[in-house]
Amino acid sequence: MISANAAVGMAVNDDCKLRFQELKSKRNYHYITFKIEDQEVVLDKLGDRFTSSLPANECRYAVHDFDFSTDEKCQKSKIIFVAWAPETSKVRNKMVYASSKDRFKRELDGIQVELQATDASEMRA
């Protein structure tokens, strides 16, 4: 059985979309994490040190403006969407995040790569 929230998706706070647009255009920070609170996706954190920004026991969504060099020494960047669901998070929490992910991701225009991770080692380039 699919719950109403799974079928429709969570509401997305306007601040999430605004901060994502800033990350894409102004590049004032390199990552944003989002969490679900009271049936809505809201802003959690933003900054420059992405690797230490995800909680060990709770699910989150994140976007990361990832800078890298090609084999030809050309500087590039890609915006990566991360669905973070650590093994130690509660099953219900994982289900809520999984069922709302696609709806939330559609609100963020410009995602180039999607990654699902349960452990920090799964996010190494």
pLDDT in tens, 31-88: 999 999 999 999 999 998 887 889 999 999 999 998 888 889 888 889 999 999 999 9
Confirm whether 86 is domain-assigned: yes
Confirm whether 97 is domain-assigned: yes
Confirm whether 125 is domain-assigned: no
Q: CATH number of the domain that 79 lies in?
A: 3.40.20.10
Which pTM does this prediction carry?
Answer: 0.86
How far is Cα 41 from Cα 62, in angstroms, rounded to an integer? 11
Rg (CA), the chain: 15
How far is Cα 85 from Cα 65, in angstroms, rounded to an integer? 20
Confirm whether 41 is domain-assigned: yes
Domain span including residue 35 = 4-120
Q: How confident is the model at residue 8 (pLDDT cuts 50, 70, 90)?
A: low
Domain count, the chain: 1
Question: Higher confidence at residue 122 or residue 5?
Answer: 122
- Residue 80's pLDDT is 94
Q: Is the dihedral of CA 10, 15, 18, 20 positive or negative?
A: negative
Confirm whether 19 is domain-assigned: yes
